[in-house]
Chains A and B, each alone.
Chain A
Amino acid sequence: DQQVKQNSPSLSVQEGRISILNCDYTNSMFDYFLWYKKYPAEGPTFLISISSIKDKNEDGRFTVFLNKSAKHLSLHIVPSQPGDSAVYFCAASDEAGGTSYGKLTFGQGTILTVHP
């Protein structure tokens, strides 16, 4: 039972263009969502997060959008850079009211390749 799904195993974009990574979830108890980036031979690195009370959060080139009614979130990277090439994981937490979100349910990941 995959509660968090990333249906695109891979995405290829040109440098300078927008990258859009998608994630769907099924558990309506999830109230906090995160994106992690992972390079080969390294652990996942936190990128950006969003609470269920918001529909958008921005941090520099990265923006996360949340559509609660559709149980869908997306990560936009603008402009994309070759250094962004990595595996991106969507994750969700149902630790409602918690002050630390650590028990996460992850998607399968999307491999992003940004071509120069």
Chain B
Amino acid sequence: DTGVSQNPRHKITKRGQNVTFRCDPISEHNRLYWYRQTLGQGPEFLTYFQNEAQLEKSRLLSDRFSAERPKGSFSTLEIQRTEQGDSAMYLCASSIQGVYNSPLHFGNGTRLTVT
């Protein structure tokens, strides 16, 4: 169990640029979640996958955001035409669906700064 891995750890970009983050979940976990955390707040749910299927998206996920999980393994979160309001910590988490009370395991996040 190597834990949930996220890359990059930090990303600084200029407004209007596109960015992509990667998440590698714990290998046997079939569910993968994306959350966003801003300063002074708790994480907010964005979207989640079961295997390769994206099952739910939050209203927070505007059209500029897209997430994929090809082949049900790693996932990418892309933000197009970034805005300053997108500056936040983006957290990925994984769990096993089908195991009772399986908690979420979070990665260390990608901190995005939009200048």
Contacts and interface: CB of A to CB of B under 8 A. Distances in A.
Interface of A: 4, 34, 36, 41-46, 49, 51, 89, 91, 99-109
B42 A99 contact: no
A22 to B, nearest CB: 15
Interface range on chain B: under 10, 10 to 19, 20 to 34, or 35 or more?
A: 20 to 34
A103 B56 contact: yes
A100 B95 contact: yes
A101 B43 contact: no
Interface stretch (B14-22, B69-77, B80-88, B102-110): B102-110
B101 interface: yes
Contacts of B97: 99-100
Contact of B108 (A4, A42, A106): A42
B108 A49 contact: no
A106 B91 contact: no
A100 B102 contact: yes
A99 B98 contact: yes
30 contacts: A36-B106, A43-B4, A43-B91, A43-B93, A43-B107, A43-B109, A44-B91, A44-B106, A46-B103, A46-B104, A49-B101, A51-B101, A99-B97, A99-B99, A100-B95, A100-B98, A100-B102, A101-B102, A101-B103, A102-B93, A102-B104, A103-B33, A103-B48, A103-B56, A105-B45, A106-B41, A106-B43, A108-B42, A109-B41, A109-B42
Given A43-B106, A46-B105, A89-B42, 20 more contacts: A34-B103, A42-B108, A43-B93, A43-B108, A46-B103, A49-B101, A99-B101, A100-B95, A100-B96, A100-B98, A100-B102, A102-B31, A102-B33, A102-B48, A104-B43, A104-B45, A104-B104, A106-B43, A108-B42, A109-B41
Given A43-B4, A102-B104, A91 B42 contact: yes
B97 to A, nearest CB: 4
Nearest to A107: B42
B37 to A, nearest CB: 8
